[in-house]
Chains A and B, each alone.
Chain A
Amino acid sequence: MYLVAHIDVEICASKSCKLCTQYCPEANTIQYSEEMGKEKGFKYGSAYVAVDRCKGCAQCVWVCDNMAKNNAIKMIMIDQLPMAALTDNITYSDKSTIAVLASPAGG
């Protein structure tokens, strides 16, 4: 098993700074979804991680903790995540993405 980044939607959607999307070295790994925040009643969307692309470097954790000071990202063993975003289940819209969460183990 290995570590992947996991973003707390409730913290992220209340701040919505999008810094982690700009600092991840992997392309299209930390994505942004308007729906993910609005589903929980927030005005803005949230970032989320496409776990099949995450290499577990934790750079986003440093950026979220030290630059944004939001502490919304933690590294979690992938088998401890019951549901996560996978690249195959992500669709793009004009200004955001929509992810259907699935079990990473099943993918």
Chain B
Amino acid sequence: MSLDYVKFSSGFEKFMPKEYRDMVEHGPFGKKMSVSQMGSFKEILEEHPMCAGCAMTLFIRLAMIAFPNPEDTITVGTAGCGRLAISQAAIPFVYGNYGDQNGVASGLSRGLRLRFGDKPKDVVVMAGDGGTADIGFQQVLHSWFRKERFTTIMLDNEVYGNTGGQESGMTNRGAVLKMAPLGKKFEKMDMLQMAKVAGCAYVATVVPNNPRRVESVIKKAVLIAREVGSTYIQAYTSCNIEYAIPTDKVMEDAKNVENDRYQFSEYITDEAKQFLTERYGYKEFLPKPAAPGLSKA
């Protein structure tokens, strides 16, 4: 949980595996890395057992690059595909029981504040649609109502991909899946609206076919969660296995779904805008100067 833990112990440097040496010498710890530098530095995420072409993995990869201080970040997850990749990273990962990730993160976030005081330690929950909207639903909502200061990211693949293709609350109405052969009979849950009602300071939807946007959204969400309150990101991360998307068409599907039901949206409270502007120098929320032609009218 600090830069000290990504150093070599004295005398052990030559015995460490190449991946570890690369991480210490050319990793993102203590530096500002962005998606435009991808392919030129050692990433936090390592090799993982996720399926070939998985959009969820791409999102997780981008998310880990976007963390503002990876050396001071803990990820929390639960059962689901995502944890197979999130756990293969050079930052601590806490694996809760199914659905209790936001409860675990609440305690962790409070404990870190007691232990480290003003030094920011970021807690980021990354769980699937089942863990967030179905099985972990009450803990997620309660953590938002309590305004717990951490970020919740839903990796929404619109299916229980790990267990053979059952419908989840986030599956679209009418979707036919291996374990839902008659098609889902109910609407997709509107978690975005629920997040706003529950008092989240920042709510956004993203699709991983825009890496820079993913980076910007995650950075904002993690920074706001340091002081203002809960933040929520809902990301469409298709399951190419359960939805039978050819792996080379995964980004085409992401584009289609973005146009269909996952348009980029961002909700941010005035308090969070002010916090980002004053504390981190964001300029996008400053009042826009009136156009010179209009001021005369």
- A is bound by B: yes
**What residues make up the interface of A, taking CB atoms closer than 8 Å to B?**
18, 21-28, 30-32, 47, 53, 55-59, 61-63, 66-67, 87-88, 92, 95-97
Assess whether A31 is in contact with B18, with CB atoms less than 8 Å apart: no
The one of A21, A56, A88 that contacts B38, using a Cβ cutoff of 8 Å: A21
Assess whether B25 is in contact with A92, with CB atoms less than 8 Å apart: yes
**What residues make up the interface of B, taking CB atoms closer than 8 Å to A?**
18-19, 22, 25-26, 35-47, 50, 52-55, 57-58, 61-62, 209, 211, 247-252
Additional A-B contact list (12), CB under 8 Å, known A27-B47, A32-B38 = A18-B38, A21-B38, A23-B251, A25-B58, A27-B44, A27-B45, A59-B58, A59-B247, A62-B251, A66-B252, A92-B40, A97-B39
Q: Is the interface of B mostly helix, strand, loop or mixed?
A: helix
Assess whether A55 is in contact with B26, with CB atoms less than 8 Å apart: no
Query: Which residues of chain A have C-beta atoms less than 8 A from B39's C-beta?
Result: 18, 21, 28, 30-32, 47, 97
Assess whether B52 is in contact with A23, with CB atoms less than 8 Å apart: no
Query: Which residues of chain A have C-beta atoms less than 8 A from B26's C-beta?
Result: 92
Q: How long is the Cα–Cα vector from A74 to B36 in the complex, in angstroms? A: 23
With CB as the reference atom, state the residue of chain A lying closest to B43: A27
Q: How long is the Cα–Cα vector from A61 to B251 in the complex, in angstroms? A: 11
Nearest-neighbour CB distance to chain B for A62, whole angstroms, equals 5
Assess whether A27 is in contact with B248, with CB atoms less than 8 Å apart: no
Assess whether B251 is in contact with A32, with CB atoms less than 8 Å apart: no
Q: How long is the Cα–Cα vector from A92 to B47 in the complex, in angstroms? A: 18
Query: Which residues of chain B have C-beta atoms less than 8 A from A66's C-beta?
Result: 252
Query: Which residues of chain A have C-beta atoms less than 8 A from B40's C-beta?
Result: 31-32, 92, 95-97
Nearest-neighbour CB distance to chain A for B27, whole angstroms, equals 9
Nearest-neighbour CB distance to chain B for A104, whole angstroms, equals 16
Q: How long is the Cα–Cα vector from A67 to B41 in the complex, in angstroms? A: 24
Assess whether B249 is in contact with A24, with CB atoms less than 8 Å apart: no
With CB as the reference atom, state the residue of chain B lying closest to A67: B251
Assess whether B249 is in contact with A62, with CB atoms less than 8 Å apart: yes
Assess whether A22 is in contact with B211, with CB atoms less than 8 Å apart: yes
Query: Which residues of chain A have C-beta atoms less than 8 A from B251's C-beta?
Result: 23, 59, 62-63, 67
Query: Which residues of chain B have C-beta atoms less than 8 A from A26's C-beta?
Result: 47, 57, 61
Assess whether B247 is in contact with A58, with CB atoms less than 8 Å apart: yes
Assess whether B53 is in contact with A25, with CB atoms less than 8 Å apart: yes
Query: Which residues of chain B have C-beta atoms less than 8 A from A55's C-beta?
Result: 52-53
Q: How long is the Cα–Cα vector from A15 to B129 in the complex, in angstroms? A: 39
Assess whether B50 is in contact with A28, with CB atoms less than 8 Å apart: no
Q: How long is the Cα–Cα vector from A47 to B251 in the complex, in angstroms? A: 19
Assess whether A87 is in contact with B18, with CB atoms less than 8 Å apart: yes
Nearest-neighbour CB distance to chain B for A74, whole angstroms, equals 12
The one of B42, B61, B209 that contacts A92, using a Cβ cutoff of 8 Å: B42
Q: How long is the Cα–Cα vector from A1 to B77 in the complex, in angstroms? A: 35
Q: How long is the Cα–Cα vector from A97 to B40 in the complex, in angstroms? A: 6
A-B contact pairs, 20 of them (CB 8 A): A21-B38, A22-B35, A22-B38, A22-B211, A23-B211, A25-B58, A26-B47, A27-B43, A30-B39, A47-B39, A53-B47, A55-B53, A57-B247, A59-B53, A59-B251, A61-B248, A62-B249, A63-B251, A88-B18, A95-B37
